[in-house]
Amino acid sequence: MNTLQPSHVPATPSRRPKISQLIGLVLLLFVRIATAQVGTTSGTANIAATVLLTTVAKPAEGGSVIGGGTFTVGTTQVIAAVPATGYVFAGWGDGSAEMKRTVLVPAAGATYVANFVPGTATLTVSADPATGGTVVRDPDKTSYALQEKVTLTARPSTGFAFVAWKEISPLATATTTAPNTSAVNVPLLVSNANPFVVPMT
Q: Which residue has the higher pLDDT, 28 or 98?
A: 98
Residues 91, 111, single domain; the answer is yes
Residues 75, 139, single domain; the answer is no
Residues 124, 193, single domain; the answer is yes
Determine, yes or no, domain membership for 20. Answer: no
Q: Give the domain extent around 62.
A: 50-118
Q: Which of 84, 118, 152 is the last residue of a domain?
A: 118
The CA distance from 101 to 16, in Å, is 75
Residues 162, 144, single domain; the answer is yes
Residues 192, 125, single domain; the answer is yes
Determine, yes or no, domain membership for 170. Answer: yes
Identify residue 6 by its one-letter amino acid code.
P
Is the pLDDT at 135 greater than 70? The verdict is: yes
- Host H or E run for residue 56: strand 50-58
Q: Which of 58, 89, 118 is the last residue of a domain?
A: 118
Q: Which of 118, 135, 159 is the last residue of a domain?
A: 118
Is the pLDDT at 188 greater than 90? The verdict is: no
Task: Tell me which residue of 169, 156, 121, 126 sits closest to 141, measured CA to CA.
Answer: 121
Determine, yes or no, domain membership for 171. Answer: yes
Residues 73, 105, single domain; the answer is yes
Within a 13 Å sphere around the CA of 163, how many CA atoms are in the beta-carbon half? 12
Is the pLDDT at 91 greater than 80? The verdict is: yes
The CA distance from 64 to 81, in Å, is 6
Is the pLDDT at 177 greater than 80? The verdict is: no
Residues 90, 127, single domain; the answer is no
Determine, yes or no, domain membership for 13. Answer: no
Residues 85, 97, single domain; the answer is yes
Question: How does DSSP assign 151-163, residue by residue?
Answer: EEEEEEPTT----
Determine, yes or no, domain membership for 80. Answer: yes
**How many domains, in total, are found in the chain?**
2
Convert the pLDDT of each residue in 123-133 to its tens digit.
788 888 888 88
Residues 100, 137, single domain; the answer is no
**According to the model, what pLDDT value does residue 1 have?**
54
